[in-house]
């Protein structure tokens, strides 16, 4: 297939590499001119060592060229930038009539929409059969090294889901189907918020017990949240929920976990994001998640604590005290 990969950050390039190795013709698009120039010369991706060896990839600065000449589109531009890219695409592709595979993990601010619903908000509900999403426990560096990875594909269409599985699957990259596309999307988005909290706890040297508690109670918050949005709560216990949550909350290789560590060291939100050097989706998603929770009457103390840290209204140690001193209730699961 001819596949366009939109966004050549660490994860976007990793997927472009995977698809090329699977035998597909891949063209990468990015607004970062220096990145494109580097990759066009055959140099490695700046965040992935030895990543360009033996690859045959094409690159273009033209979004229209990338999309119109493709059979399938893979998105990796961040949740914040997704709507703008879709609106630009609609200018030369009024109806979405080719598969679009989303990989960004977040909830859009103001609209409060997960990524699949951003697509249907721009292109209309008739775009549903063409929208899929890949999510799950995966680090770009590990996937690029050919280490075993399992993820999930969410889609409204079973036919499209089967197509995506065929396109992405390899002997080291396994893809499972899931009909609950919005549940898959929300699990991937919300685990990033919990990962920030775990990074803070790790940075403060609160111990592995504290991190384990945050993961467990964070999982409970995610279940309550996606249930309120009409999704299947059981999705949270799959790869896009529990699997991704465990991975993201237990390693400094996770940008959200690393971001939390930096916040615990006293860096401001802006300073921590600059130090991470990549988009921190959990920091963007947190506001939307907390505002939805307030609207739905859902109690999410971990997400609220992260939000207060990000807003600068409460220090990291004060947030820990607030969480530990909350009134004790029965452990509902």
Angle at 238 between CA 100 and CA 80, to 5 degrees: 40
Rounded distance between C-alpha atoms, residue 240 and residue 245, angstroms: 8
- C-beta of residue 229 within 8 angstroms of C-beta of residue 182: yes
List alpha helices for the chain, DSSP H: 10-21, 33-40, 63-68, 79-92, 115-123, 140-144, 158-168, 181-203, 208-228, 244-248, 255-264, 269-276, 281-296, 301-311, 316-324
- C-beta of residue 7 within 8 angstroms of C-beta of residue 77: yes
Sorted by sequence, the CB contacts under 8 Å of residue 131 that are 6+ apart come out as 96, 99, 100, 102, 116, 119, 120, 155, 156, 160, 181
Show the tokens assigned to 224. Answer: 């309550």
Rounded distance between C-alpha atoms, residue 228 and residue 297, angstroms: 9
- C-beta of residue 286 within 8 angstroms of C-beta of residue 307: yes
Catalytic residues: 191
In sequence order, what are the beta bridge partners of 178? 154
DSSP string covering 219-266 = HHHHHHHHHHTT--GGGGGSIIIIIHHHHHTS-TTSHHHHHHHHHHTT
Residue with tokens 């899931």: 178
Residue with tokens 């009409």: 230
b/e per residue, 29-67, with b = 16+ CB within 10 A? bbeeeebbebbeeeeebebbeebbeeeebbbbeebeebb
């Amino acid at each position: 297939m001819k596949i366009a990969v939109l966004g050549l950050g660490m994860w976007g390039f990793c997927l472009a590499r995977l698809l090329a190795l699977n035998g597909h013709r891949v063209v990468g698009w990015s607004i970062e001119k220096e990145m494109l120039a580097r990759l066009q010369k055959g140099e490695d991706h700046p965040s992935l060592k030895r990543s360009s060896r033996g690859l045959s990839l094409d690159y273009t600065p033209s979004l229209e060229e990338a999309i119109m000449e493709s059979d399938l589109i893979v998105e990796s531009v961040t949740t914040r930038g997704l709507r703008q890219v879709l609106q630009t695409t609609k200018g030369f592709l009024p109806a979405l009539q080719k598969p679009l595979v989303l990989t960004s993990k977040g909830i859009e601010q103001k609209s409060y929409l997960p990524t699949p619903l951003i697509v249907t908000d721009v292109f209309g509900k008739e775009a549903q059969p063409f929208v899929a999403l890949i999510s799950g426990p995966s680090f770009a560096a590990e996937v690029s090294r050919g280490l075993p990875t399992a993820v999930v594909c969410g889609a409204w269409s079973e036919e499209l889901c089967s197509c995506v599985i065929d396109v992405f699957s390899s002997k080291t990259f396994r893809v499972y189907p899931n009909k609950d596309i919005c549940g898959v999307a929300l699990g991937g988005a919300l685990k990033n918020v919990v990962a920030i909290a775990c990074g803070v706890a790790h940075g403060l040297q609160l111990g592995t017990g504290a991190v384990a508690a945050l993961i467990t109670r964070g999982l409970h918050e995610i279940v309550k949240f996606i249930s309120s949005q009409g999704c299947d709560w059981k999705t949270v216990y799959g790869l896009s929920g529990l699997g991704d949550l465990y991975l993201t909350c237990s390693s400094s290789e996770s940008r959200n976990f690393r971001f939390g560590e930096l916040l615990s060291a006293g860096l401001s939100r802006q300073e921590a994001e600059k130090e991470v050097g990549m988009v921190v989706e959990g920091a963007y998603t947190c506001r939307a998640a907390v505002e939805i929770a307030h609207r739905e009457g859902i109690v999410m103390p971990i997400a609220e604590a992260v939000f207060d840290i990000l807003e600068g209204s409460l220090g990291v140690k004060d947030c820990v005290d607030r969480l530990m001193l909350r009134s004790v209730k029965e452990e509902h699961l």
